[in-house]
Amino acid sequence: MDGSVEDAAFGALADTKYAWEVRNSYTKNDGFDGRKVLATLQRPSEEDPFRFVGVKWATRDYGTFMTRRDLVFLESSGMAFDSDGERVYYSLAHSIELTEVPTLDRLNIIRMNLSSCYIMRQLNDDKIDVYCRGYSDMGGEMPEGFSVSFFSAAVAGVSGMVECSYLKKLSWYMSRRRQSDSTGESRSSHCGVCGKSVNKLSSLVQPGSGCPICRLPVCSKCSVQKKLSIVSPDDVVQKQFSFCLSCVIEARKLPAWDVATALLKAT
């Protein structure tokens, strides 16, 4: 798939409940409606900002005629070197049994099981080679096709991890520029990208909606609409922003490793 291994790793990182929900808000690939990180055994660090080992619990609803499912699994992810000295990203997930997290039969919830392994390596400058292997057992009397569908959707969702990284970098870039720049929005009457007078364009961006990063006004032809996930005390909500193309490209080129490390230092 397109992208870099570091971007895939940054997009996939879900070391907290909110980070997990932010990732799903961008990729919408896990299908869970409830998520919790029960225990963190190893956290991201400056040595490996994509490193995480923890125990997670999630629930999934299949509608009126299917029994609700949940699962408990150990997740491990990070960067490593293979036998040839090439750096790769790995992500492992495997169902486990914990006495502290018993099955919820009394609530009519069936415990499902899964096991998956993803390994990604850089194929060339802008391509990633993805290896995946795993299985899922939905439990109960659910047809086998549902297990295949569940795992297939998860595999297909991997392609969204790079875009997730781009959006996370864009969000960080916007917050950093806002913190360092208190001058407010530019008073210029010209588009910050093409230089045309926005006052003479019929399809101009509404006043006050200049690029939230560079603060320059942007005409509709040069603006890029992006939905970014905002973490509130109780939830993760998405808000649409209008960026200039230059800032979107600049944020996209930021090294994912550097952004992930900067986020660690800020916490």
State the amino acid at position 266 in one-letter form: A
Of 241, 265, 245, residue with least CA distance to 253: 245
Q: What average pLDDT does this structure show over 90-97? A: 96
Banded pLDDT at 199 (limits 50, 70, 90):
low
Token reading at 23: 């990732």
Q: Give phi and psi for 73, each to the nearest 5.
A: -145, 155
Of 36, 26, 260, residue with least CA distance to 159: 26
Q: What average pLDDT does this structure show over 83-97? A: 94
Check pLDDT > 60 for residue 182: no
> Which percentage of the chain shows pLDDT scores above 90?
58
> Which percentage of the chain shows pLDDT scores above 70?
90
Q: What is the pLDDT of residue 187?
A: 61
Token reading at 80: 């490593």
Please state whether the predicted TM-score (pTM) of the whole model is above 0.85.
yes
Residue of 29 and 96 predicted with greater confidence = 96
Q: What is the pLDDT of residue 207?
A: 45
Cα 102 from chain centre: 29
Check pLDDT > 70 for residue 249: yes
Cα 168 from chain centre: 7
What is the DSSP track for the chain? -BS-HHHHHHHH---SHHHHHHHHHHH--S--SEEEEEEEEE---SS-TT-EEEEEEEEE---TTS-EEEEEEEEEEEEEE-TTS-EEEEEEEEE--BTTB---GGGTEEEPEEEEEEEEEEEETTEEEEEEEEEEE--TT--HHHHHHHHHHHHHHTTHHHHHHHHHHHHHHHHHHHHH--S-S----B-TTT--BGGG-TTBPPTT-S-TTT----BTTTEEEEEEEEE-SS-EEEEEEEEEHHHHHHHHTS-HHHHHHHHHHH-
**Beta carbons of 173 and 247 less than 8 angstroms apart:** yes
